[in-house]
Structure 1
Amino acid sequence: MGIIELLVAIVTPFIICKSGIKPKNRKKVVEEIDSNTVRIRTQRGPIYVKGLRVEDIDSVKLLEEYDEIIRMYTQFLNRLNLDVALEIRLLKKSIDPVSIIKSIERELTHLKVQKMNDPTDIRIELRIGYLEKLLKLYSTSTLPSRIEINYLLYSRGLERLEAEKYTLKNLLSSLFKAQVRDIDSRELKKMVNPKVVKENGIVVPSIALALANPPLESTISDGIYLGIDIESNRIEFIPPTSIRHHIGVIGSTGMGKTTILASLIIRIHLLLSYVNVIVIDPKGDLEYILREMEIPVQVYRFKGTSTLRKEEINRVIENILDEIVNMEPSKDLRKVIVVDEAWLIESNLLEEIAREGRSKGISLIVATQSPSDLSYEIWSNIGTWIVLKLNRLDKDNWICTSLRDYCSYVTLLRKGEALVKFHNGRIKMIRLDVDEVIQSITTNLKSSIPNSFNNLETESGEITNGSSTNA
């Protein structure tokens, strides 16, 4: 390169800057402006984006029914609203069965070696049984998968965008019969696609279905196995993130509330051994099971008249609440409080535990005979409901309203079946699997079975007096 060419190359940028002629920066900046809105800055002004998410859509119905409805609705909305554009992203999360099965087999091999060294360790024996059950289920049942649909609304007008989001949310709730929630701005910022924003406006295809298949996090290590979805034969877990949002068990007398509580306690102990479990046991049945199965959790047993027991129970709950109030906030689950016969507890105490506990890493699991036993404030703070058969449930009851079309099944459930409303709003009819409890109280402990465990129903529907192996 000659001297003249070199000087031209050096001087030219200074001349351009001096004259005010700058290269165009076409990069679009995406930024958060509140908890569920992001803004895309463009040369023609800002474009605002809000998002809605429908989770756990039934995959069969999605292909047979929802797919066409989604496409028609998208076309309709994009034609109707010239200044609002809609982008839809369909997300299917599934697990790799081969890797899951291999991981279970590896852990089983390790545990069996440990058992040879210490045959008396009951926890290892229970863990082996639990994993062998999962291994069989993952080999023969429909594997867990999750489908979610994300709706991204783009508009230059913030007020119009908010109004359109409200309308869309109501329509989607009606269409999918599922919970529709706002996508928070942090997540939305990662999802927004600035490429759909052109300098002459927002351009989104009328049909904008994007399908992705990211891996679903394994639920084996910390999710609590419940049973099998009766309709799809899919394995169902309570996700680890939902445990800290509290669990409620409702069912008439003799429907198996205590058995389910025992199963949840045992599985939490097996899978989340670092979590401290406290059990409030007015009847004494949970203490019996946990003692015989050598589950080392703290159980409060109460004796005396019903009045004295109620006073003592509430005194214990007050002490637990005082401890929770003084705890530091925590993102990790560190304590689970299980309360059988929760109607004995003063409502204000349970309400405060439910509110305070979530931010402190405290999970509350309650069981009672009727929805009316606990206040609306308590139920509204419970994320997962396990509803067993109820002899009666008024259709205008708010829990019946929350169960939507499934409400009519509540009085028809068989023993061992439950309607489960998950934290994300998904509702499933599940055949509960509480084998480890039933086997212990009907096979190993026949001589001293409490009255409340008599007449258990097997999976086949037979009634047994202390010889069943299935709930």
Structure 2
Amino acid sequence: MFIERVFEKLMGSEKICEYYDVKPPDLICKQGSRYIVVRYLIGEEVDYSLRELDLSKLKDLVSSFSELLELLPPRSEIKIIKKEFDLNKLLSKISNELMNLRASIDVVEEPHIKKKAEIKLRILESLYENIVKGKPVYRLTFVVKIYSENTNLSSAISYVNTMSERLIVFLKSTLGINLKKASKKEVLEILRYEFGLKTIPDAKSIIIDNSHASTLLPIPKYKKPSFETREGIPIGIDLETGWPVILPLDILNKHVVIIGPTGRGKTTLLATIIEGLISLSNTHVFSIDFKGDLANLINNVVEYQVTPFEFPINLLHVPPIFNIVEWSIAVADAVSHVLGIDYDTIVNGISKAVINREKYVSVKNVLLDKDLAILSPLVELLTEKPHYEVFDKYIKGPTVFNLGGYGTAFQNVYGGIIIYLYNKFVSAKKDNQFRVLVIDEAWRISKLKVIEALAKEGRSRRIGLIMATQNPSDIPREVIENTHTLIMFGSPNEDYIRDAKRFLGLPNSVLNKLYYLGIGEALMFNALDPHPIILKVRCPVSMKTDVLR
């Protein structure tokens, strides 16, 4: 038969299907033990509202497209084929039909028949008026293909039966498109067209004016396939297509930076990513939260929520995994960054204090020492007894360090030291485990040397860095250059927009979009695609409120 000959010609000696048949409205193929059924539906009539398309109507239509994408199974298709037609013949045909309808309305007595004729009359009058005024009118073939696959042919057909009935009702009620099941001739015509054997399919057409035809354009030709083919975390919806936005696991070791003002949704997005990593992968997740908001959102999904009270640090006590020089450099980097004290001064002071640690067991002795007195704002980090030996269990996690409620200087130094501990403990492990370090309010520690090292070495060490911060200027150039994914929330603030251009190099066409993004909406960029996704952030399942943070 025709279909078999075409497939054999296309595939040559490679036989991918054992059996083909057209049983309208379905194309049926058999691959090994599985049956593939494709249901063909054709647009038969368009019953659009006659009023002009205002903004509210357009928003309703766009929402309908998103719902349509949710309804369709993966690998389904919607295609619109534009056809040529004679406008004069169409006008003549409409004119004759208008006269027949007016005559029918005058003589018909049944109310429901009369009402139906009156509605059709108004539609044709509107179409006739638009053509006369010079508005473009199209003749289109509207095709929907619903895909099903099963080891049982009856089950596959039953599935497309159910989906096609739902789709027919949905398109009629939302978009005004009447669908019918394709005949055998129409299925074969569409196949010939798709194989390039015909320039245009001889299938049922619909006539539609320009303004209403344009509302069909948001429908993509192909529904995006299900994301099981690539492991990832669903983080929201693409507002332009309605597709789910997936953050692939295999790019996380190339790092993610999230930027946005307070209250736009950064922390909510971090919580969604962490929840997804914990529930959908074997990733070891370690998080640092300076304010406590993130810890509250993920409290139910992490194994350890740790505070500085539960895990004290003493800057004068060297963890066994460090030597004195390494520890002095780590402490000096964290402290000089926070307190603005000369780096070398801190290195010398810490080295001396570590060697003579017994002398500095009391607060009084620390404050009286001329080299250590400059560290008085951090006295709590100089006198506590540490328990570094328990840190190893936090590495496996999932863990969040909650620093909320402490002073800023304490938080920033403590957070910096935790990152140095994390980096050292992970480096000592020889496994091939994939790990992700998440930092909320990363502006506090983003300029530490250890952050730059993680950004540059994370890919080879299988460590992903995910940082959220408030301003584009918070992240050093070396970190941005080693970041694969950037997610940027909007703001009307001119300084924010200017910094996005200066520090991130974003073009004006993108910058203008940042002004209009709402709460929970962001632009998502990746290093391989210059076109950003307009992302609507998904709240984590465990979140008990829809208020984004």
> With CA pairs under 8 Å and 6+ residues apart, which has the higher RCO, 1 or 2?
2
Larger of the two Rg values belongs to structure: 2
TM-score for both structures, normalised by structure 1: 0.46
TM-score for both structures, normalised by structure 2: 0.40
